[in-house]
Structure 1
Amino acid sequence: MPFAVRTFLVRILLIKVKRVFFTNWNVPLEERKGGYSEGTGGVWICFKFLWENGLTWKDGRTESFDRLRGFVGDNFPCPKKGEITSTHSNFSLGFGKSENAKCAATLKMGWNAKTYPDPDLENSLEGSLEQITRDFLNFVNRFNTIPQGDFKKMDVSKKYPLNQILYGPPGTGKTYRTINKTLEILGFANDQEITAKLQELKKPIPKDERTRAKVLFDYYKQEGQISFITFHQSYGYEEFVEGIKPSMDSKKTGEVTYSVQEGVFKQVCNRAWKNYGRVQMQNKQGTREISWEDYLDHLICDFNTFMQRMIDKKQEFFFDSDNKVVVRSFGLEASLLVDLENNLSLALDEWVKMVKGNYSDFKNGANLKEAEHAKYYFMLYRKIWEFEQSWYCPKTYVLIIDEINRGNISKIFGELITLIEPDKRAGNSEALGVVLPYSQEFFNVPKNLYIIGTMNTADRSIALLDTALRRRFTFEEVMPEPESLKDRHIKDKDEDTGIDLSRLLKAMNKRIEFLLDREHTIGHAYFSELETLKDLQDCFKNKIIPLLQEYFYDDYAKIKAVLNDNGMLVSETMQDASEEDEDLRDTSLKNSLKNLVDPNKKIYRITNDKCDEWEVNCFKKIYNDKAWDKNRKEK
């Protein structure tokens, strides 16, 4: 395309956007949209000419190492004559944002740029001028429909405690909440941010909000940033930190050998430490505390190890976005790449030397030096860049400990109970470390590791929580939420029964509080999935009544009071038993037990073993004294 045509295209775009607010590189958005302060984060509309070696993703998304030829703004750097040559392969148009842009507007913009493929540069780009202009105006209109308030900077400075415990009665959703708590700590405070991240990861977007959160949670769990364990009475230091464990050498002699193996806590600490160390190294390189050469040596070594592990696990690792160039072997000396499209096997000899000579230029957008197989080396540089962006950026790690109070804390944490304190974490002025007893390694806890525990306050099978643990954790109470059941309707034969689960749960819990305490109330989760009358009957028979039996030590008079004498439990005396049971009519229980048992003592039983006779009014009676069971009255 002639230079004049390209310049005309640039001028057309600039004329079209005079009425739109945009921001330049490193110019706070508050100057354009207002309210966005502190830092250089911003949102803009940009367009780019990309070099032929600046490959793009399938969706047209471009990366920062592509050669930027322009972005819309007051100081648009119009390409000079001679700068735009036939080496430009396509044109990209779309929204742009800085890495630290945190505002609601970023959640309403699609970040997939539109590209205009250019197999024949002289014709196609010129022929696309009108389409590019229309697309650009569409971007402008979308930009202008976003309310000005959405450009105000989000509060991303919220502090989360490094150690916290969610505690409350059973069924209140403590474990359920750990997923959302974890995602908040990782930087996803709402569903919009979760959805945006799933889009960025190119994962299917489930329709249900909870499912979307679980998908993202599982992704970070697979990536090693989240670990989940459950404490129990047999859990110990060897499983949590490290211990000597047996293993069988089945390949050779079949002998049993013993080795020191890491526990869950040490493993997640090591992952957090590696990330923390890489970030510190990158920061030191930025401040010239270490040389670029030393930094690059560590980067290459980490990348090589990562690639080798992928290949050892028999996982396909593609160098390109079209999945046509795959790595078959990888090493510091040479690598074997296979171009599936061209049926070509290629050995990249001395790739380390090439990376050390060209990677800095690649990151800065300079022209790459001529090299044999430059196309494949460019793919390699891009993969290293992606690896650097992922592995050398600050990451947060979360360890979830379910039922934390069921374990012997002193036995499990050992000497590490001190190290998890926030001010004792590595990097702080009061940081401490210990030498582990088995491996004899020096160990301390990084400050990018968060611990979330859950605790059931109604569990009477354990001792009181360790005082040392209480002092090092913050506690958040999770109580029953009857209001969450207001929209849940119980049906019988496709008709609404009118049973108000919210009032039912609230009434039972209030009685439990007076008879016992608030720590033994019943959680809403017991009722959250119920749909039919049969579901509700089974829930009371198999969950609620057994739970109440445990709470009140089989004191059925109190259980009957909690149920408001709704007919699920009935009492009888010795006289009643003799009269009502035909098999006992020929004997007098009262006379035979007169010196051993109070003649007025009552025993209780569940009225219906199959619970299918508990009608609608039987449940309504729990929260409404005027409700009555028709079947019971007739009998």
Structure 2
Amino acid sequence: MGRFFSTASGRELLAEFRKRGWLVVNKFCPGGQGRLFTEGIKDGDYAYACAGSAQLWGLYRFNGPCQALPAELADQITDSKNWVYRPADLVADSVQESATDLKLLTAWWAPSGYRTVAPITDLAKANQQLFGPYFNRRLVLKAVLNPPVFPNPNIILYGPPGTGKTRHTLELAYAILTGQEAPSYEAAQQLFQQELGRRLDFVAFHQSFTYEDFVQGFRPTVINGQMVFEKSEGVFYRIAERARQEWEACQGLDAEEFPQADAEFINTLPFLQPDSQSSLVPFEVVFQELIAPLASAGGTVILPMKTKGYGFPILGIDSKYLTFRRGMEGHENKVQIAVLRALYEGTRKIIPSGPQIYHVYIVERLLELAQAHKEFSTSATIAAAADAPDAVVAPAPAPDDNTSASGTPLNYVLIIDEINRANIARVFGELITLLEKDKRLGGANPLPVTLPSGEEGFTVPANLYLIGTMNTADRSLALLDIALRRRFEFRPLYPRYNLFAGMADNRGTVLQKLNAEITRQKSRDFQIGHAYFLDAKETLQSIFDGKVIPLLYEYFLNDEAKLQSLLQTAGVSVYLDANVGLRYGTGASVS
């Protein structure tokens, strides 16, 4: 509705929409947003409404279907036929009408001028950043009567080309991430764009794809004019770490790992108040002092915990991470150095659970080093520091933006396109075993492994799902690594012929006869998918000449006579063009 906000007449029109309780959208809004508004939203769903990214209206609940604007309002809009409204009840007025601060949010659903309609998939984050501060409300998801069930976290969608594997992948990812079926393909596409690089990642396998690309390896780089090898994390490692941090942040404190004295300390986390942050010694100074002993041979850094006899070692650092051990004999964990900096400087909050407890001890040690620096400073600095407030004991802060506030870990999804095009055993390595449901972190028999880089304690968390796609025309399912086959659930996708109702050229029947003959002469894995034929504006001639016949040439290894016989047997008229080969239609006859 932001289009109308720039003129006086437009603002009058917006005032009328608001008075009537109408939320108005252009039904041709790009990226499927218009269709999401007209078809994906149901009565009873909630929405917050803005006039563009400037004026925050309120929190609304939809109570009716889409309708065309009445004539007295439509006459004021040049392209009024494109605009529709949905009636909605005002649930809560906004605390403030200015959306300037809200516009600064990085969430996909924040008003930015680039999105008009977007689903909110992380309700905990939206409650924290939007509904609480702007509406004094907290929304909860209603129970889903039949939520999607995923007994196996590893799924492969397989079938011939053009059978909708990409579409089903995005809809499946939507269901895993939200716990609900996707209301539309457009909603699934929006969620994909929103969560890409966060709770969802995408990778396409190919013949040269390796373990180092997928999990972890060493890559050459130049530092100070010299070539060195740096450890590099692959796409699977990165999303597994994000999912693991989410999983562990939502687990309760382990009584054996954190005895009573530590639990009491954890519930009163020490952090400096914002008005005393200016007195902090720079992070780089205290951090280098913390890790200095590691630079010498045999040097160690062991941080004590509150319970007598308990502590944990810091094992090392690289350009991005600090590695520590959970307890003296536990498995290894990492924390980004940037996270420690943010905690030290008071710009990031923390959840008192799992490995983040160790982050607290590390930051506490940094603060102790900072205090020691101040005590040996000049008298002027000492005097200034004496006037500054001391570190205070504050209650545990709210969860940060990247984790669930419900106690239930959010799910993560890695989509692997063309999973059968790479050497599976080489790419997955020891992860093949870790993918099993019971071997994951949170499973019945969690199995940590040591990676080839020497990193210990790597696990695959239970909240990480893998969705692979496989084109059966490229490689038979029977040729897949047997270890992979028994760890994945395989879901077939083959041509559907019930999607062509109302099309004048009887293309559904044409495709069905063609696939029957392909199956007879070759196999069902080489059928032609329905997606090639779904565009009603495209003629059968353009479909066959531009897509189907070239694909069949590849399937039949350019055996023109065999391909001609197959098409004629299937009732498809073709002729031979001496310049390009077989063509659809009844041109020059085939000799």
- TM-score (normalised: structure 1): 0.50
Contact kept in structure 2, 1:526 and 1:539, CA below 8 Å:
yes
**Contact 2:510–2:572, Cα closer than 8 Å, also in 1:** no
Q: Deviations over 1:201-254 (max 9, x none)?
A: xxxxxxxx32222111211224x11111111111111111111111122xxx22
Does 2:230 align with 1:230?
no
Q: 2:165 aligns with which of 152, 157, 174?
A: 174
Residue correspondence of structure 1 range 56-205 to structure 2 within 5 A: 112-114=91-93, 154-156=145-147, 158-192=149-183
Residue 299 of structure 1, CA deviation:
10
Q: Which has the higher contact order (CA 8 A, sep 6+)?
A: 2
Change (3 A) 1:529 1:306: farther
Equivalent AA in structure 1 for residue 492 of structure 2:
E
> Is it true that 1:414 corresponds to 2:388 in the alignment?
no
Q: Deviations over 1:17-65 (max 9, x none)?
A: xxxxxxxxxxxxxxxxxxxxxxxxxx9xxxxxxxxxxxxx95556xxxx
Pick aligned residue for 1:260 from 222, 231, 239: 231
What does 1:22-41 align with in structure 2 at a 5 Å threshold? none
Cα gap change, 1:529 to 1:464, in 2 (>3 Å) = same
Q: Is it true that 1:515 corresponds to 2:521 in the alignment?
A: yes
Count matched residues.
373
Q: Is the 8 A contact 1:435 1:442 kept in 2?
A: yes
- 1:568 CA drift (Å): 5.6
- Kindly tell me: are residues 190 and 387 of structure 1, through their superposed partners in 2, closer, same or farther at Cα, counting changes over 3 Å? closer
Instruction: Name the SS for the 2:157 alignment partner.
Output: strand
1:401 to 416, 438, 456: 416
8 Å CA contact 2:148–2:175 kept in 1: the answer is no
Asked whether 1:540 is paired with 2:544, we answer: yes
Distance in 1 of aligned mates of 2:248 and 2:241? 10
Q: What amino acid maps onto 2:436 in structure 1?
A: E
8 Å Cα contact 1:568-1:606 kept in structure 2? no
| 1:538 to partner: Cα distance | 3.4
**Which of 551, 566, 569 is the equivalent residue of 2:555?**
551
Amino acid at match of 2:249: R
Secondary structure of the 1:451 match is: strand
Report whether the alignment pairs 1:243 with 2:249.
no
Cα distance change on mapping 1:544 and 1:261 into 2, 3 Å: same
2:247 counterpart residue number: 276
- Work out which of the residue numbers 421, 446, 463 in structure 2 matches 1:448: 463
Contact kept in structure 2, 1:482 and 1:501, CA below 8 Å:
no
- Counterpart contact for 2:247–2:409, Cα < 8 Å: yes
Q: Deviations 1:322-375 (Å, cap 9, x if unpaired)?
A: xxxxxxxxx9989xxxxxxxxxxxxxx989945x43x46xxxxxxxxxxxxxxx
TM (norm. structure 2) is 0.53
Shift in alpha-carbon separation, 1:557–1:470, aligned structure 2, 3 A:
same
Distance 2:337 2:477 in 1: 49
> Alignment identity in percent?
34
2:505 corresponds to: 499
Residues 258-303 of structure 1: per-residue CA shift (max 9 Å, x gap): 1121111111111111111111147989x99763641564999999
Contact 1:163/1:450 (<8 A) preserved:
yes
1:214 and 1:109 map into 2 onto residues whose CA distance is 25
Residues 421 and 552 (structure 1 numbering): CA distance in 2 closer, same or farther, change over 3 Å? Answer: same
Structure 2 vs 1, CA of residues 266 and 561 (structure 1 numbering), >3 Å: closer, same or farther? Answer: same
Distance 1:299 1:156, change over 3 A: farther
Alignment of 1:254-403 (within 5 A): 254-281=225-252, 291=263, 293-294=265-266, 297=269, 353=391, 356-357=393-394, 359=395, 389=404, 394-403=409-418
In the alignment, which residue of structure 1 is the partner of 2:381?
none
Tell me if structure 2 keeps the 8 A contact 1:94–1:114: no
- The one-letter code sitting in structure 2 at the alignment partner of 1:231 is F
The answer to whether residue 499 in structure 2 is matched with residue 484 in structure 1 is: yes
Structure 1 428/153 Cα, relative in aligned 2: closer, same or farther at 3 Å?
Answer: closer
Contact 2:246 2:403 in 1 (8 A): no
The equivalent of 2:16 in structure 1 is none
SS in 1 for 2:251: helix
Instruction: State whether residues 238 and 244 of structure 1, in contact with CA within 8 Å, keep that contact through their aligned partners in structure 2.
Output: yes
Contact 1:230-1:401 at 8 Å conserved across structures: yes
1:505-543 deviations in whole A, cap 9, x for unaligned?
11110111111111111111112235133xx43332232
Q: Are residue 560 (structure 1) and residue 564 (structure 2) matched?
A: yes
Tell me the C-alpha RMSD between the 2 structures: 4.7
Distance 1:307 1:210 in 2: 40
1:528 lines up with 2:534 in the alignment: yes
Residue 134 of structure 2 corresponds to which residue in structure 1?
none
User: Residues 569 and 607 of structure 1 are in contact (CA less than 8 Å); yes or no, is this contact kept in structure 2?
Assistant: no
User: Alpha carbons of 1:233 and 1:609: their partners in 2 closer, same or farther (altered >3 Å)?
Assistant: closer
Secondary structure at the aligned position of 1:418 is classed as helix
* Structure 1 counterpart of 2:191, from 216, 221, 246: 216
Contact 1:233 1:406 in 2 (8 A): yes
- TM superposition shift of 1:399: 1.0
- State whether residues 299 and 388 of structure 1, in contact with CA within 8 Å, keep that contact through their aligned partners in structure 2: no
CA drift of 1:415 comes to 1.6
CA distance in 1 between counterparts of 2:199 and 2:173 reads: 10
> Aligned letter for 1:521?
Q
- Cross-structure match for 1:77: none
Tell me if structure 1 keeps the 8 A contact 2:56–2:94.
Answer: no
Q: CA deviation at 1:437?
A: 1.3
- The answer to whether structure 1 residue 464 and structure 2 residue 479 are counterparts is yes
Shift of 1:159: 3.2
Q: Please tell me whether the aligned partners of residues 472 and 526 of structure 2 are also in contact (alpha carbons under 8 angstroms).
A: yes
Q: How many angstroms apart in 1 are the aligned matches of 2:456 and 2:574?
A: 61
Q: 1:530 to 1:213 in 2, by over 3 A?
A: same
Distance 2:389 2:186 in 1: 43
Q: 1:632 to 1:395 in 2, by over 3 A?
A: same
* Letter aligned with residue 258 of structure 1: F
How many angstroms apart in 2 are the aligned matches of 1:395 and 1:299? 27
- Could you say which residue in structure 1 is the equivalent of 2:453? 438
Matches within 5 A, 1:605-616: 605-606=576-577, 609=580
CA separation of 1:550/1:233 partners in 2, compared to 1, >3 Å: closer, same or farther? Answer: same
Task: Give deviations 1:103-142, integer Å, cap 9, x for gaps.
Answer: xxxxx99795236889xxxxxxxxxxxxxxxxxxxxxxxx
Contact 2:148 2:181 in 1 (8 A): no
Between the aligned partners of 1:387 and 1:470, the Cα distance in structure 2 is 33
Retained in 1: the 8 A contact 2:58–2:92? yes
Q: Which letter maps to 1:397? A: Y
Output the CA distance in 2 between the equivalents of 1:477 and 1:407.
20
CA contact (8 A) 2:517 2:566 kept: yes
Give the conservation status (yes or no) of the 8 Å contact 1:244–1:258.
yes
Question: Alpha-carbon deviation of 1:163?
Answer: 0.8
Q: CA deviation at 1:556?
A: 2.8
- CA distance in structure 1 between the aligned counterparts of 2:440 and 2:58, rounded to whole angstroms: 43
Return closer, same or farther for 1:485/1:292 CA change in 2, 3 Å cut-off: farther
Structure 1: which amino acid aligns with 2:247? Y
Assess, with a 3 A threshold, how the Cα gap between structure 1 residues 282 and 511 changes in structure 2: closer, same or farther: same
SS at match of 1:399: strand
Could you list the runs of 5+ residues in structure 2 that have no partner in the other structure?
1-43, 45-54, 63-86, 98-140, 273-282, 284-334, 349-363, 371-386
Mark the runs of 5 or more structure 1 residues left unpaired by the alignment: 1-42, 44-56, 62-92, 96-107, 119-149, 193-208, 318-330, 335-348, 361-380, 490-497, 571-604, 619-628
Rounded Cα–Cα distance in structure 2 between residues aligned with 1:213 and 1:402: 17
CA distance change for structure 1 residues 425 and 500 in 2, over 3 Å: closer, same or farther?
same
Q: Distance in 2 between the 1:475 and 1:466 partners?
A: 13
